[in-house]
Amino acid sequence: MEEKIYSIDPATEELARKAANEGIETLWDRKKAMKTPCGFGEQGLCCRICAMGPCRISPTKDKGAQKGICGATADVIIARNLARMIAGGTATHSDHGRDIAHVLHMAKRDGNYKITDEKKLLNLAKEWEVEIENRDIYDIAHEVAEIALKEFGKPFGTLRFLERAPEQRKSVWEKNDIRTGAIDKEIATIMHSTHIGCAADAKDLIHKGMRTSLADGWGGSMIGTEFSDILFGMPVPRETEANLGVLEEDQVNIIVHGHEPSLSEMMVLAAEDPELLQLVEEVGAKGINLSGMCCTSNEVAMRHGVKIAGNLNQQELAVFTGAVEAIIVDVQCIFPALAPLTKCYHTKFITTSPKAKITGATHMEFEEGKALQSAKEIVREAILNFKNRDAKKVFIPKAKSPAVVGYSVEAIKKQLDKVVNSQIDEGGTLKPLADCITSGVIRGAAGVVGCNNPKVKHDYGHVELMKELIKNDVIVVTTGCAAQAAAKAGLMSKEARKLAGKGLAKVCELVDIPPVLHMGSCVDISRILVLVSELAKLLKVDISDLPVVGAAPEWMSEKAIAIGTYVVTSGIDTWLGVVPPVTGSDLVVDILTNKAKDIVGAKFHVEPDPHKAAQQMIERIEEKRETLGLAA
Ligand code: XCC
Ligand code: SF4
């Protein structure tokens, strides 16, 4: 067989080649046009924070400029830029969380947004000491939402969700002054500290970055996850399909792309509207086929089984199938390239968020106040566009894979309890999972998360790493575009057990789960934090003691940098498959990949080869097992 160039996923490879042959530009062409990346930028050696610059530091230690005009060294410039990336990522996830909290605040019994999971709301209300006796559930919801909104700007105190961590972890944070205050304040402090002429100590800047990153994972992201579950329901295991083969030739294909479920949930409802279905018939289509891309896809797949069209690198290819009536986006990870590309097809490119207007797109603002109506208008546009489809341009690849998605922490508990120990109380615990790990049937767990990046052959980093891990009895939990790579590669189907080691395969069979568990979108990495916290409490150890590791094999965004940092700061060693722009500073590299361990008990590892990364991760897991005295 011919060597795959672009992607290990057959649909992507087929379409990317076809696009190349037909002279349709994709990210891979633009990557090529970049030629060799800027060497200064790659190592993080450039600063344009002020207008005395831009300043570039020579990568050769004893030759050329060694300082910026203000005197900032490579160490300072790199640490400053890294801290700003963390702030950028934290702001993005947290603003998403804030939006969802606002939606809960406007939820009404007779409104478009309602409370779906009362139990989860009441649990959170109790956790936050909100009065629940004899109160209307919506009053409770509004008070809880208001408290969450105050987490962004409260003048005093630390984040409420930090209390969910085990005591040992909290004291690590306390001791090192990493306990995060108000979310917006942490981000603003980074922007302040990294202004020209402010902080100029690399170590301290990274420390600030760590503190800010906790405002992502244990702040905005966790708010996003909790409140989405309360509003739209807690994910439970359900079947779906993944890859561009989910598009249907004879239906109106609508893709939701972006991040916030407040839009996509309404799209799901609108796509079932009887009047609109009538219109579908009138235009001669067989139905509405809703599918998703990037994290929005994960949100609706987890809660409704909506099919997964693909991950980051497939967004242009989806349009290139010629079969998509509309691609509806809100925020984050949307390529501006979609605007000129959709002009070559009948596809409508519809932006909906005032935060992400894109030149060349049709903007149809999604107003939460009249959410369903807004969604219906958007769906109507898509349906009316069906007649403009040019049959000659349509090419839908065949490839798609079945997948089971929807493993929230609660769902994992339930699933494991069900078979392993039916006596456990209704809420369930993670004891069965802990037992599997301590007995050594499962050696440990790995969170494999993050994006696509054309520096890595599409999905190769994710899929190879996951396969190697499960083969060695390491259970994998995953989110984001990594989760979609796994779904497409069949790793979330029940058959994937065959690829697992003996112990893991046995567990999968007993409790009826795939060896790779889909835990949601990237804000849902907060679910992983809750999972490891509960495991650590059960075993009476710190998170950093657990035989648990993390990886982002194809990461690309600032969000991913924020995630990696909070995962490490939470005590979990993390492997990156793409080198971050820090290699120009030995000091920064040393802090991230070495000294961090002395502060937070975990560090970054950089290993582009997924097979080598897997071996290192497994070794680390075995080291931790040994220290804990767990079965060899
Ligand atoms: Fe974006 Fe969230 Fe990365 Fe995928 S994994 S490319 S950030 S969609 Ni979050
Ligand atoms: Fe140059 Fe310093 Fe200004 Fe950066 S802050 S651009 S290093 S003068």
Residues 219-247 pLDDT 10s: 999 999 999 999 999 999 999 999 999 99
> Which ligand has its closest atom nearest to the C-alpha of 72?
2
pLDDT above 80 for 313:
yes
Alpha carbon nearest to ligand 1 atom 2, residue: 295
Lowest mean pLDDT among 18-32, 133-147, 344-358, 419-433: 419-433
pLDDT above 60 for 425:
no
Ligand 1 binding pocket, CB closer than 6 Å: 259, 294-295, 311-312, 333, 450-451, 480-481, 522, 557, 559-560
Both structure tokens of 238: 């359900």
Q: How far is the CA of 356 from the centre of ligand 2 (A)?
A: 30
Mean pLDDT of 325-342: 98
**What is the atom index within ligand 1 of the atom nearest the CA of 557?**
7
CA distances from 626 to 130, 444, 503, 562, 622 (A): 43, 12, 18, 30, 6
Element (H, E) at 621: helix 610-628
pLDDT given at position 417: 76
Q: How confident is the model at residue 14 (pLDDT cuts 50, 70, 90)?
A: very high
127-163 CB burial, b ≥16 within 10 A, e <16: eeebebeeeebbebbbbbbebbbebbebeeebbbbbe
pLDDT given at position 419: 58
Mean pLDDT of 319-332: 98
Instruction: Give the separation between CA 251 and CA 385, rounded to whole angstroms.
Output: 12
Domains of the chain as residue ranges with CATH: 74-232 (1.20.1270.30), 244-393 (3.40.50.2030), 405-628 (3.40.50.2030)
**What is the atom index within ligand 1 of the atom nearest the CA of 482?**
5
pLDDT given at position 416: 82
Q: How far is the CA of 433 from the centre of ligand 2 (A)?
A: 51
DSSP-derived 3-state class of residue 262: helix
Q: How far is the CA of 523 from the centre of ligand 1 (A)?
A: 10
pLDDT above 60 for 218:
yes
Alpha carbon nearest to ligand 2 atom 3, residue: 50
55 CB within 6 A, ligand 2: yes
pLDDT given at position 201: 98
Q: How far is the CA of 85 from the centre of ligand 2 (A)?
A: 17
Average pLDDT across the chain, whole number: 96
Task: Give the distance, in angstroms, between the CA of residue 42 and the centroid of all CA atoms in the same chain.
Answer: 24
> Which ligand has its closest atom nearest to the C-alpha of 453?
1
Residue that the structure tokens 């097992």 belong to: 625
**What is the atom index within ligand 2 of the atom nearest the CA of 77?**
7
By the 8 A CB rule, do 546 and 234 touch?
A: no
Ligand 1 pocket check: which of 295, 313, 523 to mutate, most ligand atoms within 8 Å of Cβ? 295
Alpha carbon nearest to ligand 2 atom 4, residue: 47
pLDDT given at position 415: 87
pLDDT above 80 for 10:
yes
pLDDT above 60 for 421:
no
Alpha carbon nearest to ligand 1 atom 6, residue: 451
Residues 451-494 pLDDT 10s: 999 999 999 999 999 999 999 999 999 999 999 999 999 999 99
Residues 34-43 pLDDT 10s: 998 899 999 9
Q: How confident is the model at residue 428 (pLDDT cuts 50, 70, 90)?
A: confident
pLDDT given at position 37: 86
Mean pLDDT of 600-623: 98
pLDDT given at position 591: 98
By the 8 A CB rule, do 437 and 630 touch?
A: yes
Instruction: Kindly provide the residue ranges of all beta strands, DSSP E only, lying in 201-330, ordered along the sequence.
Output: 238-242, 252-257, 288-293, 307-310, 324-329
52 CB within 6 A, ligand 2: yes
DSSP-derived 3-state class of residue 587: helix
DSSP-derived 3-state class of residue 272: coil
pLDDT given at position 301: 98
What region, left, alpha or beta, does residue 298 occupy, with left being phi > 0 and alpha being psi -120 to 50 degrees?
alpha
Mean pLDDT of 603-614: 98
Q: How confident is the model at residue 426 (pLDDT cuts 50, 70, 90)?
A: low
DSSP-derived 3-state class of residue 461: helix
Full strand arrangement of the beta sheet holding 548-552 = 516-520, 474-479, 444-448, 548-552, 574-576, 604-606
Q: How far is the CA of 593 from the centre of ligand 1 (A)?
A: 24
Mean pLDDT of 318-347: 98
Alpha carbon nearest to ligand 1 atom 8, residue: 294
pLDDT above 70 for 420:
no
ipTM over 0.85: yes
Instruction: Give the separation between CA 562 and CA 216, rounded to whole angstroms.
Output: 7
Ligand 1 pocket check: which of 481, 519, 524, 558 to mutate, most ligand atoms within 8 Å of Cβ? 481
Report the alpha-carbon angle 497-503-509, nearest 5. 45
pLDDT given at position 55: 98
DSSP-derived letter for residue 610 is: H
pLDDT above 80 for 427:
no
Q: How far is the CA of 543 from the centre of ligand 2 (A)?
A: 39
pLDDT given at position 632: 84
Q: How confident is the model at residue 192 (pLDDT cuts 50, 70, 90)?
A: very high
Share of residues in the chain with pLDDT > 90 (%)? 95
Instruction: Give the separation between CA 301 and CA 479, rounded to whole angstroms.
Output: 12
68 CB within 6 A, ligand 2: yes
Q: How far is the CA of 57 from the centre of ligand 1 (A)?
A: 31
Task: Give the distance, in angstroms, between the CA of residue 594 and the centroid of all CA atoms in the same chain.
Answer: 26
CA distances from 617 to 395, 423, 539, 606, 612 (A): 41, 35, 21, 11, 9
**What is the atom index within ligand 1 of the atom nearest the CA of 555?**
3
Instruction: Give the separation between CA 116 and CA 569, rounded to whole angstroms.
Output: 33
Please give the full DSSP string across 37-65, using - where no structure is assigned: PPHHHHHT-EE-SSTT--EE--SSTTSS-
Residues 486-509 pLDDT 10s: 999 999 999 999 999 999 999 999
Mean pLDDT of 381-404: 98
pLDDT given at position 4: 87
pLDDT above 70 for 199:
yes
Share of residues in the chain with pLDDT > 70 (%)? 98
Ligand 2 pocket check: which of 80, 81, 196, 205 to mutate, most ligand atoms within 8 Å of Cβ? 196
Residues 535-593 pLDDT 10s: 999 999 999 999 999 999 999 999 999 999 999 999 999 999 999 999 999 999 999 99
pLDDT given at position 1: 56
What region, left, alpha or beta, does residue 480 occupy, with left being phi > 0 and alpha being psi -120 to 50 degrees?
left
DSSP-derived letter for residue 496 is: G
